[in-house]
Amino acid sequence: MSSSQDRPNRIPWPPLIFGGLALLGLALHWIVPLPWPGGIVRIVLAAAGLCLACAAIALDVTAALAFRRHRTTILPHRGASALITDGPFAKSRNPIYLANTLLVSGAGLLFGVGWLVLAGLAGAVLTQKLSIEREERHLAARFGPDWEDYKARTPRWLFF
């Protein structure tokens, strides 16, 4: 077996990417806070952030349960033993990474920390380049035509 079939990822694990960027965002907010609207706009943004954070947690939990149901690893540095295509994976090939993005960005909206919104978006870009593309090569090597069919019908994130 090739290494892409055995192990899709090494460091940096996506949770480390998102966690590190969230810490960086908080540090930047402390040093150089971005301007944030007040009044009703702040309340609307906070409500949107709360909704995003709740959606992120629900998405993360349902995706984790899908891993458990299919008896395959959730750890990004271990090889997959099953291709999950149902549940949240029917709408997004990366629901956990989508949840990480929504959680960090949602926290930024909820607490008025613009750097966290940017950190969530940066985390999505870095995760795609450093993890998702490697994971996709792993899944293609491991599951062949089944992966290609799934990839053709399911967007990487949600809409694209």
User: Which residue is it, tokens 């870009």?
Assistant: 125
pTM for this model (two decimals):
0.90
pLDDT at 7: 54
User: What is the distance, to the nearest Å, from the Cα of residue 127 to the centroid of all Cα atoms in its chain?
Assistant: 8
Q: Residue 110 corresponds to which tokens in the numbers above?
A: 């909820």
Residue from 44, 11, 4, 31 nearest 138 by CA: 4
pLDDT at 2: 46
Give me the phi and psi of 81, to 5 degrees please: -105, -10
pLDDT at 8: 59
Q: Is 4 exposed, middle or buried (0-12, 13-18, 19+ CB in 10 A)?
A: middle
CB–CB of 119/22 below 8 Å? yes
pLDDT at 78: 77
User: What is the distance, to the nearest Å, from the Cα of residue 81 to the centroid of all Cα atoms in its chain?
Assistant: 21
Helix (H) / strand (E) element for 124: namely: helix 114-127
Domain ranges in the chain are 23-28+39-144
User: What is the distance, to the nearest Å, from the Cα of residue 71 to the centroid of all Cα atoms in its chain?
Assistant: 21
pLDDT at 79: 79
Tens digit of pLDDT per residue, the chain (160 long)?
Answer: 445 445 555 666 888 999 999 999 999 999 999 999 999 999 999 999 999 999 999 999 999 999 999 998 888 777 788 999 999 999 999 999 999 999 999 999 999 999 999 999 999 999 999 989 988 999 999 999 999 999 999 999 986 5
